[in-house]
């Protein structure tokens, strides 16, 4: 069913998607507004801060979106093969650390990004190989690895690679390896955002135009068909996790080489972004382009809720809850479709079966 009729208009799938998205955001905003009003805050001001607060600094918004875009991919690609990659967090940390070290020892930023990606890929390979050859559930492995990696890196930063001048930070990325900003006519933009877009395009090409991507998609959608067609599902799973890990590693590397230029001793600049990626991937419907939009929207809400806390003294919990309401509103189209089909049945019964005979 590629096209649907709505009144007099014939709508394509994309138009329907657009209408649904706009509709759900509006519904989310209305509910959030009511909550704000009931609690005695000015809903108009609150919502405009929540939505537009992030836009005050487009460069920062896009840079922030860059990282969860990458971890979003890291979750999305294994999902095509039917695997849950909860390891994005750990892969990102490892990617960041390896990128930092590569940058320090080689002074080359692009090499550092690649090295970070490879490190993330290696972690994905490990997790998926354990799943495929040893039957260890990938989610369990990932959760444990996330913790192990988090503390190991904290240990390394605070004891081995700390900056003598500012001991809560690591050694800085050498200037030669830093990726800076581009000054486009009106706005300033970080190079890493453009790199991330290139990686998104790469992932799209990988999924839809290569043998490996095709095999991953078939294995995820129908394992029995994969077996019939002679596709090695195990290898497809490993490939998907490896590629996913690569992108999360790149995310960490971009954070270090192109944005922070160091890793702080509690990893605050990356903390939680691996998990945000899961939400981004789901909201973007697992589609690379959708992930770009979702990651920007996600970042907008995060920055907006910070503005709301700052300027309106809204408690953090409420600000987060409002972002949550808006995100949940994205599931409205599904509820709407169920309602429609129910009503249609009722109507058909009313008109009577004779008319259909």
Partner 1 sequence: MQQGEIAIEMNGITKIYPDGVIALRDVDLIVKKGEIHGLLGENGAGKTTLMRILYGEIKPSKGTIRIFGKKVRFRGPWDAMREGIGMVYQHFSLIPSFTVLENLVLSLSSTVKVTINQVKKKAETIIEKVGLNVPLNTRVELLDVGVQQRVEILKALMRDAKILVLDEPTSVLTPTEVDEFLEMLRKLKEMGITVIFITHKLREAKLITDSITILRRGRAVGVVETNKVDEAELAKMMIGRKIALEIPKKREGPMTGNVVLKVENLQVRDDKGLVAVKGVSLTLREGEILGLAGIQGNGQRELIEAIVGCRPVEKGNVIFMGENVTGMSPSEIYRKGLAYIPDSRAVGLVLDMDIVSNSILTRLKNFLGKGGRIMWSKAHSFSSKIVNEFEVLTDSLKTPVKYLSGGNQQRLLVGREVAQRPKVIIAAEPTHGLDVAATEYIRSLLAKLRDEGTAILLVSTDLDEILQLSDRIAVIYEGEIMAIGRPEEFTTERLGLLMGGVKCQTKN
Q: How far is the CB of 6 from partner 1 (least distance, A)?
A: 16
Comparing CB distances to partner 1, the nearer of 183 and 355 is: 355
Q: How far is the CB of 345 from partner 1 (least distance, A)?
A: 5
Q: Which is nearer to partner 1, 217 or 271 (CB)?
A: 217
For the bound state, the minimum distance from the C-beta of residue 1 to partner 1, rounded and expressed in Å, comes to 6
Q: Which is nearer to partner 1, 268 or 345 (CB)?
A: 345
Shortest CB 25 distance to partner 1, Å: 27
> Are 99 and 252 a contacting pair, CB within 8 Å?
yes
Compare residues 311 and 351 and give the one whose CB is closer to partner 1: 351
End-to-end CA distance of the chain, in Å?
24
Nearer to partner 1, 160 or 211 (CB): 211
CA atoms 352, 354, 355, 357: torsion sign:
positive
| Sign of the four-CA dihedral 243, 245, 246, 247 | positive
CB of 195 to partner 1, least distance (A): 22
Q: Shortest distance, CB of residue 229 to partner 1, whole angstroms?
A: 5
Structure tokens at 307: 């503005």
Longest dimension (CA), the chain: 86
Cβ nearer to partner 1, comparing 210 with 268: 210
- Measured between alpha carbons, how far is 131 from 212 in angstroms, rounded to an integer? 19
Residues at the site binding partner 1, with contacts judged by CB under 8 A: 1-2, 208-212, 214-215, 217-218, 221-222, 224-225, 227-231, 341-342, 344-345, 348-349, 352-354, 356-357
Distance, CA of 4 to CA of 13 (rounded, Å): 8
Asked if 80 and 285 count as a contact pair (C-beta separation under 8 A), the reply is: no
Query: In this complex, which beta carbon is closest to partner 1, that of residue 6 or of residue 310?
Result: 6
Can you tell me the distance from the alpha carbon of 155 to that of 161, in angstroms, rounded to the nearest whole number?
9
The CA-atom distances, in angstroms, between 283 and each of 29, 94, 178, 294 are 17, 26, 32, 6
Shortest Å distance, C-beta 338 to partner 1? 8
Looking at the Cβ atoms of 133 and 205, the one nearer to partner 1 is: 205
Query: Least distance (Å) from partner 1 to the CB of residue 233?
Result: 12
Cα–Cα distance for residue pair 112/99, rounded to 1 Å:
4
Judge residue 176's burial from the number of C-beta atoms within 10 Å of its C-beta, 0-12 exposed, 13-18 middle, 19 or more buried: exposed
d(CA 11, CA 3): 6
């Amino acid at each position: 069913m590629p096209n649907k009729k709505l009144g007099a208009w014939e709508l394509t799938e994309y138009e329907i998607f657009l209408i649904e998205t706009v509709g759900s955001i509006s519904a989310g905003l209305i509910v959030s507004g009511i909550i704000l009003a009931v609690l005695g805050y000015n809903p108009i001001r609150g919502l405009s801060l929540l939505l537009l607060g992030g836009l005050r600094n487009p460069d920062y918004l896009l840079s922030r979106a860059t990282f969860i875009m990458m971890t979003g991919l890291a979750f999305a690609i294994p999902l095509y093969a039917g695997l849950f990659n909860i390891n994005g967090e750990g892969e990102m940390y490892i990617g960041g650390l390896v990128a930092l070290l590569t940058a320090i020892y080689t002074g080359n930023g692009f090499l550092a990004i690649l090295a970070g990606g490879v490190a993330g890929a290696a972690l994905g390979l490990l997790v998926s190989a354990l799943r495929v050859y040893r039957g260890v559930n990938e989610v369990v492995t990932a959760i444990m690895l996330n913790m192990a990696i988090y503390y190991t890196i904290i240990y390394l930063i605070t004891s081995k690679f700390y900056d003598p001048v500012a001991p809560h930070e690591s050694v800085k990325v050498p200037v030669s390896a830093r990726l800076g900003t581009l000054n486009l006519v009106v706005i300033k933009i970080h190079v890493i955002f453009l790199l991330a877009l290139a990686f998104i395009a790469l992932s799209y090409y990988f999924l839809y135009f290569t043998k490996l991507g095709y095999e991953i998609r078939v294995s995820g959608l129908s394992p029995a068909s994969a077996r019939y067609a002679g596709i090695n599902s195990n290898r497809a799973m490993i490939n998907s996790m490896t590629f996913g890990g690569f992108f999360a590693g790149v995310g960490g590397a971009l954070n270090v080489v192109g944005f922070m230029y160091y890793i702080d001793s509690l990893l605050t600049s990356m903390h939680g972004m691996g998990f945000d990626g899961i939400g981004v991937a789901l909201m973007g419907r697992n589609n690379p382009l959708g992930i770009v939009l979702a990651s920007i929207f996600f970042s907008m809400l995060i920055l907006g809720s910070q503005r709301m806390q700052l300027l309106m003294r809204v408690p953090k919990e409420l600000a987060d809850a409002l972002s949550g309401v808006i995100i949940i509103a994205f599931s409205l189209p599904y509820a709407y479709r169920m309602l429609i089909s129910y009503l249609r049945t009722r109507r058909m019964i009313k008109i009577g079966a004779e008319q259909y005979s």
